[in-house]
A and B are shown apart, each in its own frame.
Chain A
Amino acid sequence: MIDPNLFQLVCFYAFGAVAVLSALAVISLRNSVHAVLALVLTFFSTACIWMLAEAEFLAIALIVVYVGAVMVLFLFVVMMLDIDQEKIREGFVKFLPVGVVVAVVMLVEMLALIGVRAMHAQTLGANPAGDSNTAWLGKALYTQYLLPFEIAALILTVGVIAAVALTLRERRGVKRQQPSEQVAINPRDRVRLVKMAAERPDDAEPAALPAQEAKP
Chain B
Amino acid sequence: MPTLNDVLVLLPEFYLVAAACLLLLADAFMKPAQRGALHWIAIVVLLVATYMVVAGQPDATVTAFGDMFVRDRTSEILKVFALLCTVLVFIYARPYLLDRKQFVGEFYTLMIFAVLGVMLLVSAGNLVMVYLGLELLTLSSYALVALNRDSPLSSEAAIKYFVLGALSSGMLLYGMSMVYGATGTLGLAQLHATATHGAMPHLLVFGLIFMLVGIAFKLGAAPFHMWIPDVYQGASTPVTTFIASASKLAAFGMAWRLLETGLGDLSPYWQPMLAVLAVLSMAIGNLVAIVQTNLKRMLAYSTISHMGYLLLGLVNAGPEGYAAAMFYAISYALMSTVAFGVIMALARAGFECEEIADLKGLNQRSPWFAAMMALAMFSLAGVPPLFGFYAKYLVLQAAIDAHMLWLALAGAVFAIVGLYYYLHVVKVMYFDKPVEGGADRSTPDMPMRVVLSLNGLALLVLGVYWGPLLGWCRHSFGIG
Contacts and interface: CB of A to CB of B under 8 A. Distances in A.
A165 B27 CA distance: 12
A157 B143 CA distance: 12
A165 B104 contact: yes
A155 to B, nearest CB: 5
B139 A162 contact: yes
A182 interface: no
Interface string A148-162: 100110110111011
Nearest to A144: B66
Query: What's the interface size class on B, roughly?
Result: 20 to 34
B60 interface: no
Contact of A154 (B10, B68, B113, B126): B113
Contacts of B132: 148, 151-152, 155
A143 B66 CA distance: 9
A169 B65 CA distance: 41
A211 B140 CA distance: 60
A145 interface: yes
Contacts of B104: 165
B24 interface: yes
Main secondary structure of the interface of B (DSSP, over half): helix
B120 to A, nearest CB: 6
A80 interface: no
Contacts of A145: 68, 128
Interface in A138-181: 143-148, 151-152, 154-155, 157-159, 161-162, 164-166, 169
A157 B17 CA distance: 11
B147 interface: yes
Given A155-B132, A166-B143, A161 B106 contact: yes
A154 B17 contact: yes
B67 to A, nearest CB: 10
Given A148-B132, A154-B17, A155-B136, A165 B126 contact: no
A162 B143 contact: yes
B217 interface: no
Given A158-B110, A159-B139, A151 B133 contact: yes
B149 A146 contact: no
Nearest to B131: A148
Given A151-B120, A154-B116, A155-B132, A146 B65 contact: yes
A165 B135 CA distance: 18
B275 interface: no
A157 B133 CA distance: 14
Interface string A48-74: 000000000000000000000000000
Nearest to B69: A147
Contacts of B110: 158, 161-162, 165
Contact of B142 (A146, A162, A169): A162
A144 B129 CA distance: 12
Contacts of A155: 132, 135-136, 139
Contact of A151 (B24, B64, B109, B129): B129
Interface string B80-116: 0000000000000000000000001010011001001
Contact of A158 (B65, B128, B136, B149): B136
B1 interface: yes
B129 A148 contact: yes
B191 interface: no
Given A155-B139, A161-B110, A166 B146 contact: yes
B256 to A, nearest CB: 20
Interface in B355-404: none
A158 B113 contact: yes
Interface in B295-337: none
Contact of B149 (A154, A161, A166): A166
A158 B1 contact: no
Nearest to A145: B128
Nearest to B68: A147
Given A143-B1, A166-B143, A166-B149, A161 B136 contact: no
Given A144-B66, A154-B113, A154-B116, A161 B129 contact: no
B2 interface: yes
Q: Which of B24, B104, B132 has the most CB of A within 10 A?
A: B132
Interface string B55-79: 0000000001110110000000000
Contact of B68 (A148, A162, A166): A148
A146 B135 CA distance: 17
A165 to B, nearest CB: 4
A103 B44 CA distance: 58
A158 B20 CA distance: 11
Nearest to B133: A151
A207 to B, nearest CB: 51
Nearest to A151: B132
Nearest to A146: B2
A101 B129 CA distance: 41
A10 to B, nearest CB: 22
B141 to A, nearest CB: 10
16 contacts: A143-B2, A144-B66, A145-B128, A147-B64, A148-B129, A151-B120, A151-B133, A161-B106, A161-B143, A162-B110, A162-B139, A162-B142, A164-B106, A165-B110, A165-B143, A169-B149
Give the top 8 A-B pairs by smallest Cβ distance, nearest first.
Answer: A162-B143, A165-B106, A147-B65, A151-B132, A147-B68, A148-B128, A158-B113, A158-B139
Given A157-B21, A162-B139, 7 more contacts: A147-B2, A155-B136, A157-B113, A158-B140, A161-B106, A161-B109, A161-B143
